[in-house]
Amino acid sequence: MTLLLVGVLCLGIASIIGGATGFGTALIATPVMLMVGFDVREVVFVNLVAGLVTRVNVAYQLWSQINWCRVALLGGGSLPGAWLGAVTLSLLPEQYLKPAAGALVMLCGIAMALPVRTVSPRQPSAVAQALTGGVGGYLGTTTSLNGPPPVLLLMRARLPPLAFIADLAGYFIVANVIALGTLFIRDEITVSMVWPRLPVFVIAALVGNLTGLSIARRITPGMFRSAVIVLVIASGAVTLVVG
């Protein structure tokens, strides 16, 4: 029961941050849940389900802001990456996988902080979007950290905060469904992951996400960008150290 309460608190707080920035729930929740004793496979599953449920709500609220062409390229590109990640999950020991994921996340955060030549929104190429989706899909099934690659791409594209959050919501819906389906086909999901803890985790994530989304409507683009960069680098560092 104590482990469940800690997990709920962790996921709820992480979902507030995720709601305010458009991502980050798994980035915050994953290292903490691993540190307090949850199994990596359950953490991946819980974060993917929580991310799917909360992003459906965000997509509904920001429907008019979503660029569906970009979502299709990012989400479709995640399919081969998700399958390769699921294969990796069954072959590579956790002690190697988690530090590698943390290092990659930190590199994404550092790349976000680098200067961008233009301050106006610009459309990334179709190839860049598909490849980014592939990397995100791979990280999704191995660590549930499928956010940093598309976040880096969209941050470099200089999207307004609400458009950024809307596109990420669409991407997470597609990518998380693909990741969960891949894990199910490969028998990586067990009954103990679904019941009785999953419904409690999902409720905590929904409440936190609604709170965070209300915050997102009030922050400036500069504050938003700084918060995203700090969040990515910090969470990558924690994942690297815990792993």
DSSP string, 196-226: SHHHHHHHHHHHHHHHHHHHHTTS-HHHHHH
CA dihedral of residues 45, 51, 57, 60 (deg, nearest 10): -110
- Residues 32 and 132: their CA atoms lie apart, in Å, by 26
Contact 209, 202 (CB under 8 A): no
pTM above 0.85, yes or no: no
The answer, yes or no, to whether residue 243 has pLDDT greater than 70, is no
Counting residues of the chain whose pLDDT is more than 70, the rounded percentage is: 81
SS3 letters across 185-197: HCCCCCHHHHCCH
pLDDT in tens, 19-33: 777 666 777 777 777
Nearest residue to 100 via CA among 143, 132, 147, 134: 143
From residue 77, alpha-carbon distances to 101, 128, 171, 214, 221 in Å are: 19, 10, 10, 31, 28
- Residues 72 and 108: their CA atoms lie apart, in Å, by 22
- Residues 87 and 90: their CA atoms lie apart, in Å, by 5
Q: Where exactly are the structural domains of the chain?
A: 2-242
pLDDT in tens, 144-186: 677 778 887 887 777 777 888 888 888 888 888 887 888 788 7
pLDDT in tens, 195-236: 777 888 888 888 888 887 777 777 776 677 677 777 777 767
Give the model's pLDDT for residue 103: 75
Q: Which residue's structure tokens are 């709820």? A: 12
**Which tokens hold the place of 225?**
């960008």
pLDDT in tens, 184-194: 887 777 777 77
Task: Give the CA angle between residues 58, 232, 177 to the nearest 5°.
Answer: 40
Query: Cα-flanking dihedrals φ and ψ of residue 156, to 5°?
Result: -65, -25
pLDDT in tens, 94-120: 667 667 767 776 776 676 666 666 556
- Residues 99 and 121: their CA atoms lie apart, in Å, by 33
**Which tokens hold the place of 66?**
């979503």
From residue 69, alpha-carbon distances to 25, 72, 74, 148 in Å are: 25, 5, 9, 20
Contact 36, 10 (CB under 8 A): yes
